Chains A and B, each alone.
Chain A
Amino acid sequence: MTGPSPLPAAGRHAGPVAHPLVAIDTATRRACIAIGDGLGAPLAMRTWHAGYRHGEELLAALDDLLRDSGVGLGDLGGVVAGTGPGAFTGLRVGLATAKGLAYGLGIPIVGVPSTEGLAAASVEAGNHGDEPLDLAVLLPAGPHDRYLARYRRSDGRARTWEDALGHGPELVPGGEPIEPRVAGAVLVAIDLPSAPGISGEAVAAGARAQAGRGAALLDAGRAALDRGHADDVAVLVPAYVTLPRGITAPAGTIEWSRDPR
């Protein structure tokens, strides 16, 4: 595959590229890697129950998948990273790996909300026809709370999803019923068991979404790159819905020191 290559200049620009893309999403307990051809069609995909072992398993799984698909590292033309929200450990592993790939190979990176990929995948696999559609994606936020994202597609054939909340995903505290918040939408429950307000259908939709999310992320990433949009690999971070516990405002800056002297 690739020999020693020059280190990339930071912040490569996006642009139409015909090279294969790799998509990584680790926001849920099922990790997902997908490799798509130059047009965005999936060549190889793997989803597996990573639990909390993303750190051990992700890069080895990527290596296997590249080998199986016959795609060399040097062939890759971009990285699509699921940005959550979701499990912090998984997202840290996924984003650190995605950044390492994009920075190391000098290729563009596109962050796509994991919930958007899940929403899109739930429909692709769920066969809702061409009608307008409201979706509510629900997934765990820590041991007790849940993240809720809502997406709307007004034209059944459109591939783009509108954020129906207008401000991205939000946190639903553990004790709070979800029914009023998801009224009128098709519920997609990720990593959540059947419970009051969560039907077996919602759980099944969640399973379909997890299985198909790699293709959906590749699709979204390809569309972004075709529009000339990529994220800055230096600044891309997961979608955090809440501030860390004990922090009330994102105050303070990071002090830089360049050493030696």
Chain B
Amino acid sequence: MGDPATGLILAVETSCDETAVAVVEQGRRIRASVVASQVTMHASTGGIVPEVAARAHLRWIVPVFEEARAAAGIDNWSTIEAVAVTNGPGLAGSLLVGINFAKTLAYVHRRPLVPVNHLEGHIYAAWLLDPDDPERPAPPFPLVALVVSGGHTFLVEMRDHLQYRFLGQTVDDAAGEAFDKVGRLLGLPYPGGPAIMKAAAGARRHDIEFPRAWMGESYDFSFSGLKTAARRAIEARRGGEALDPESVAELAYGFQESVVDVLATKTGLAAERSGARAIVLGGGVAANAVLRARVAERAAALGIPLIVPRPALCTDNAAMVGAAGFFRARAGTRASLDLDARPSLPLVP
């Protein structure tokens, strides 16, 4: 039996704390995308507890899969071209659940199994179209992609499908992690990103300046110094008392400006120098409206489009894995029965 070239990819993603399954057609059109998010479960602990995440994946993988299958109207495996699954990077215990479930389904139904790098998924989210979206051109190459989330912050150049030239990455905290930590210092709820953006929008004065870590000529990022500076500024402003809402807003504004300024400036510079025809933004922090606006300004100055998936496709989901998985499948990437979790899998080997 040959592999049917239907272009339909069943994708599974369990690298962190969202259990996700999607069906994507031709690497672009979402037929169904279901995400069981563990956010509420973790809110009380102020972050992800890996053991909690892994247990929840095992509990929810079948209902999420069944929901996506039914929503996509798939009732025969002969219409499925391949099963794609995230094999890293991510939490080992979480990755294992999705990998072994997807691997077994691919084995049972004799479908090719395609491993997908989670980071590559975040980039390919830019290719996705919702069921009711009009057709639009795919992102043009070469492009520069900035992926920013609670787990990753990196800048990459793509000259063709699946061809990555790594430009830079964070040398310490991910940007989203810095948002979470400073959010906590400011007494804001988890996750810190949306809370800081909301607080910053209410600032009436904008004169608190935080340092920018430019990291010389490189495209690398660093947020740990900024985090320390934020802690000092918060302590100084507080002086033993609780912070008043206006101070929280001003500090949140200053911090967000510093993060966004560095991210947008470096992305714009990379796009200019590589002659990019588009900028792609992905990852959970791409949901930050200030970051989107600032990168959009850079793209407009270069006369190229900024492509940002809608927020639910910026955060972890399986549709992005289905998009990347399609191009991987067509390029002949296959995994065998011994596919295992690669918690530190790099984007570029």
A-to-B contact residues, CB < 8 Å: 2-7, 10, 53, 55-60, 63, 73, 88-89, 92-93, 95-97, 99-101, 103-105, 233-235, 237-238, 240, 244-247, 251-261
> In the bound complex, how far is the Cα of B58 from the Cα of A99, in angstroms?
9
The residues of B that contact A246 with a CB separation of less than 8 Å are 45, 49
Name the A residues within 8 Å of B56 (CB-CB).
254
- Interface positions of B from 68 to 87, Cβ below 8 Å from A: 69, 71, 74-78
Is A89 within 8 A of B337, CB to CB? no
Q: Are A93 and B62 in contact (CB under 8 A)?
A: no
Residues of chain A lying within 8 A (CB to CB) of residue B55: 237, 240, 244
Question: B58 near A96 (CB under 8 angstroms)?
Answer: yes
Can you name 4 extra interface pairs (CB under 8 A) apart from A55-B340, A256-B35, A259-B312? A6-B76, A245-B49, A257-B312, A259-B317
Q: Is the CB of B65 within 8 A of A253?
A: no
Q: Which residues of A contact B38 (CB under 8 A)?
A: 254-255
Residues of A contacting B30 in the complex (Cβ-Cβ under 8 angstroms) = 259-260
A97 B67 Cβ-Cβ under 8 A = no
B52 cross-chain contacts in A, Cβ below 8 A: 244, 247
For B299, what are the chain A residues with a Cβ–Cβ distance below 8 Å? Answer: none
Quick one: which of A247, A252, A255, A260 has the most chain B CB within 10 A?
A: A260
Q: Is the CB of A103 within 8 A of B58?
A: no
Per-residue A-contact encoding for B191-233, CB less than 8 Å = 1, 0 else = 0000000000000000000000000000000000000000000
CB pair B58–A234 under 8 Å, yes or no, is no
Known contacts: A97-B104, A247-B52, A259-B33. The answer to whether A5 contacts B62 by CB under 8 A is: no
B101→A254 contact, CB < 8 A:
no
Smallest Cβ distance from B326 to chain A, in angstroms?
18
Contact of B93 among A56, A58, A92, A251 (CB under 8 A): A92
Cross-chain contact B51 with A245 (CB below 8 angstroms): yes
Of the candidate stretches B105-113, B159-167, B272-280, the one touching chain A is: B105-113
Q: Assess the A255–B40 pair: CB atoms within 8 A.
A: yes
Interchain CA distance A252-B69 in the complex, whole Å: 27
List chain B residues, Cβ under 8 A from A4.
1, 76-78, 109-110
CB-based contact B104/A7 at 8 Å: no
Of listed B34, B55, B71, B341, residue having the most chain A CB within 10 A: B55
* In contact, B96 and A96 (Cβ under 8 angstroms): yes
Min Cβ gap B93→A in Å is 6
Given contacts A4-B109, A6-B75, A246-B49, contact A89 B40 (CB under 8 A): no
The reply to whether the CB of B265 lies closer than 8 angstroms to some CB of chain A is: no
Give A235's nearest chain B residue, CB to CB: B59
For B313, the chain A residues whose CB sits under 8 A away are: 259
Distance in Å: Cβ of A51 to nearest Cβ of chain B: 13
Q: How large is the interface on B (under 10, 10 to 19, 20 to 34, 35 or more residues)?
A: 35 or more
Q: Most B CB atoms within 10 A — which of A58, A59, A88, A95?
A: A59
A51 to B33, CA, bound (A): 36
Q: Is the CB of B44 within 8 A of A58?
A: no
Residues of the B chain whose Cβ atoms lie less than 8 Å from the Cβ of A55: 96, 99-100, 340-341
List the B residue with the shortest CB-CB distance to A73.
B108
**With a CB–CB cut-off of 8 A, which chain A residues contact B67?**
258
Tell whether B319 is near chain A: CB-to-CB under 8 Å: yes
Q: Nearest 10 CB-CB pairs, A to B?
A: A100-B104, A4-B78, A244-B51, A104-B108, A252-B41, A96-B100, A60-B337, A259-B33, A55-B340, A234-B62
Report yes or no: B62 in contact with A103, Cβ–Cβ below 8 A.
Answer: yes
26 contacts between A and B (CB under 8 A): A4-B109, A4-B110, A5-B109, A7-B74, A7-B75, A10-B66, A63-B107, A92-B100, A93-B100, A96-B97, A96-B100, A100-B101, A100-B103, A100-B104, A100-B107, A101-B104, A103-B62, A245-B49, A246-B45, A251-B41, A251-B44, A252-B42, A252-B44, A255-B36, A256-B35, A259-B319
Chain A minimum-CB-distance residue to B69: A7
Contact A3 B1 (CB under 8 A): yes
Interface membership of B263, Cβ < 8 A: no
Contact across chains for A96 and B40 when beta carbons are under 8 A apart: no
Chain A minimum-CB-distance residue to B43 = A252
User: Which A residues lie within 8 Å of B97 (CB)?
Assistant: 92, 96
Q: How far is the CA of A104 from the CA of B339 in the complex (A)?
A: 19
B141 sits at the interface (CB 8 A): no
Determine if B188 is an interface residue (Cβ-Cβ < 8 Å): no
Per-residue CB contact flags for chain B residues 311-338 toward chain A (1 = under 8 Å, else 0) read 0110001010000000000000000111
CA distance A254 to B64 in the complex (A): 12
Chain B residue nearest in CB terms to A245? B51
Contacts A4-B77, A105-B108 given; indicate if A247 touches B65 (C-beta within 8 A).
no
A92 touches B96 (CB 8 A): yes
Q: Check B37 for interface membership: any CB of A closer than 8 A.
A: yes
Which chain A residues lie closer than 8 Å to B71 at the CB level?
Answer: 258
Contact A254 B93 (CB under 8 A): no
Chain A CB within 10 Å, residue with most, of B1, B52, B78:
B52
The CA of A120 and the CA of B108, in the complex, are separated in Å by: 31
Closest to B45 in A: A246
Query: A260 near B96 (CB under 8 angstroms)?
Result: no
